[in-house]
Amino acid sequence: MGKHAFELLEAFETLPAGDKQAFAVEVLRRTRAMPFDSGPISDEEIGEAGRSLFAFLDQEENASTPR
């Protein structure tokens, strides 16, 4: 990864959750026509992605649940 891409990721981490989501959607929209091959994905990477997604969805659900 180049310097500029790393700087973008660092800036992304400082965004509020809503802006992160909007940014991610826009990046995916702009890159969907690009040929992409992630190569092989390890079981550890798949597990971490699942854990991260579950934590995000759990946090989102807890935020929308009336107390």
Reported as a single tens digit per residue, the pLDDT across 18-33 is: 999 999 999 989 888 8
Q: Over 80: is that where the pLDDT of 64 sits?
A: no
Domain parsing of the chain, residue ranges: 3-34+41-64
Secondary element (H or E) of residue 61? helix 43-64
Q: How many residues does the chain have?
A: 67
pLDDT of residue 43: 93
The predicted structure's pLDDT at residue 1: 80
Across the range 34-42, mean pLDDT stands at: 82
- For the entire predicted model, the pTM comes to 0.51
